[in-house]
């Protein structure tokens, strides 16, 4: 090669002189990197220029790390780090003149025979209804870029049989809203997507059961007062959020009244109706409402309600 040609090739693809006879090749097609780290492309069938060589550049970020010439429409790049995202640039060359460049930015796919066996899978309760999950592979991916794989987490509610699927690109996650008093089976497996096909590894399971915890405070859904009574309907925390059996409903009015209403808990978890009777007319009553389940007492709801005035017509 002449010094002029060397100089030309070492310049960026866009900066060169074009004289009338130069043929500038168009962009290559089907630029792809496969799981064997083989970069392949094709020349457009109607490409008018005679292409002698291709300039292949591999950059990470804005820095070109590798630059070489090939005569074929493929280049084998097994030396690239699979954890890193690379930009591959292929530029056709015709009689020493650079054509148009084609770019592709991608990781090198993991080989189809990557070992997907999950090694440790641990579940740790971190708060009410929250479990921290962590796992790893028996054979870590070189460079330990675990995010190159996807993981499928299956949660089975062993009481209802409900199954929930979650896909995660990490080796840990927090699982929320697990109901207490319900046994769950959690299983994880790694998935490697190779050329659009999912290769699944064996699954690893753990069982968890959240410790019982109290209900959220009940909420007042209806109230009606008469001169001698206060009729209320209270809604309890959803059965789906807290499946620990509800035991008692309390309306504590100190020396005026103190009601303990036993609850027979079932799937629907019906609202609780409580009628305070034999009260004094036109009087403010203060009381506390709370609910007890297998996990203990809920927070207290402080209440104040006034009975109606006794009208002469009612007696
Ligand atoms: C890369 O792909 C090309 C075209 O399919 C093929 O001819 C070549 O043998 C492959 N190289 C390697 C190292 O697999
Ligand atoms: C590739 O092509 C160039 C120019 O046509 C030639 O000089 C060179 O020897 C070829 N290289 C190989 C490895 O075939
Ligand atoms: C997986 O995690 C466990 C527990 O944290 C650790 O002891 C083990 O060394 C890890 N294995 C790999 C291959 O990283
Ligand atoms: C009301 O009854 C509950 C349950 O029996 C009891 O714990 C509470 O101390 C009582 N309240 C009063 C003011 O006596
Ligand atoms: C409470 O009072 C309402 C309205 O008078 C009545 O419909 C309901 O049956 C009563 N409930 C109980 C549990 O006594």
SS3 annotation, the chain: CCHHHHHHHHCCCCCCCCCCCCCCCCCCEEEEECCCCEEEEECCCCCCCCCCEEEEEEEECCEEEEEEEECCCEEECCCCCCCCCEEEEEEEEECCEECCCEEEEECCCCCCCCCCCEEEEEEEEEECCEEEEEEEECCCCHHHCHHHCEEEEEEEECCCCCEEEEEECCCEEEECCCCECCEEEEEEEEEEEECCEEEECCCEEEEEEECCCCCCCCEEEEEEECCCCEEEEEECCCCCCCCCCEEEEEEECCCCCEEEEECCCCCCCCCEEEEECCCCCCCEEEEEEEEEECCEECCCEEEEEECCCCCCCCC
Does position 5 have pLDDT exceeding 60, yes or no? Answer: no
* Residue 12: predicted pLDDT: 39
| Among 40, 54, 70, 88, residue to substitute to test ligand 1 (most atoms within 8 Å of Cβ) | 40
Q: Closest Cα to atom 1, ligand 1: which residue?
A: 38
Ligand nearest to the CA of 300: 4
Residue nearest to atom 5 of ligand 5 (CA): 231
273 CB under 6 A from ligand 5?
A: yes
Pocket of ligand 3 contains residue 254 by CB under 6 Å: no
Ligand 5 proximity of 270 Cβ (cutoff 6 Å): no
% of the chain exceeding 70 in pLDDT:
92
pLDDT at 36: 87
Mean pLDDT over residues 64-77, rounded?
96
- pTM for the full model? 0.67
Q: What's the whole-number average pLDDT of the chain? A: 90
Check pLDDT > 70 for residue 173: yes
List the residue whose alpha carbon is closest to atom 2 of ligand 4: 258
Q: Among 71-80, 109-118, 136-145, 255-264, where is mean pLDDT lowest?
A: 136-145
Is the pLDDT at 197 greater than 70? The verdict is yes
The predicted pLDDT at position 44 comes to 95
Confidence grade of residue 110 (pLDDT, cut at 50, 70, 90):
confident
Predicted confidence band at 6 (pLDDT cuts at 50, 70, 90)? very low
pLDDT at 17: 46
Q: Is pLDDT above 80 for 195?
A: no
Question: Would the CB of 119 count as within 6 Å of ligand 3?
Answer: yes
Closest Cα to atom 14 of ligand 2: 71
- Nearest ligand, CA of residue 33? 1
Give yes or no for residue 261 CB within 6 A of ligand 4.
no
Ligand sitting nearest the alpha carbon of 69:
2
The number of the ligand nearest the C-alpha atom of 135 reads 3
């Amino acid at each position: 090669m002449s010094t002029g040609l060397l100089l030309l090739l070492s310049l960026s693809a866009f900066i060169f002189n074009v004289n009338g006879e130069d043929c500038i090749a168009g962009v290559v097609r089907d630029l792809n990197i496969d799981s064997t780290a083989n970069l392949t492309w094709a020349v457009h069938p109607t490409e008018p220029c005679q292409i002698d060589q291709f300039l292949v550049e591999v950059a990470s970020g804005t820095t070109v790390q590798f630059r070489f010439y090939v005569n074929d429409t493929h280049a084998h790049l097994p030396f690239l780090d699979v954890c890193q995202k690379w930009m591959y640039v292929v530029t056709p060359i015709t009689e020493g003149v650079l054509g148009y460049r084609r770019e592709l930015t991608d990781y090198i796919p993991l080989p189809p025979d990557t070992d997907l066996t999950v090694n440790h899978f641990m579940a740790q309760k971190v708060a009410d209804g929250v479990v921290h999950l962590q796992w790893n592979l028996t054979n870590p991916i070189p460079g330990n870029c675990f995010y190159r794989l996807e993981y499928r987490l299956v949660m089975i509610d062993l009481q209802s049989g409900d199954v929930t699927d979650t896909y995660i690109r990490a080796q840990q996650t927090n699982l929320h809203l697990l109901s207490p008093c319900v046994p769950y089976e959690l299983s994880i497996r790694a998935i490697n997507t190779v050329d659009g096909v999912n290769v699944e590894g064996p699954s690893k399971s753990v069982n968890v059961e959240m410790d019982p915890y109290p209900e959220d405070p009940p909420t007042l859904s209806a109230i009606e007062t008469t001169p001698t009574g206060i009729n209320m309907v209270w809604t309890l925390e959803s059965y789906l959020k807290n499946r620990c059996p509800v035991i008692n409903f309390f309306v504590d009015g100190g020396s005026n009244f103190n009601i303990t209403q036993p609850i027979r808990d079932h799937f629907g978890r019906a609202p609780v109706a409580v009628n305070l009777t034999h009260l004094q007319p036109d009087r403010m009553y203060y009381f506390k409402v709370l609910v007890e389940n297998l996990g203990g007492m809920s927070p207290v709801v402080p209440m104040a309600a006034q009975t109606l005035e006794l009208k002469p017509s009612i007696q």
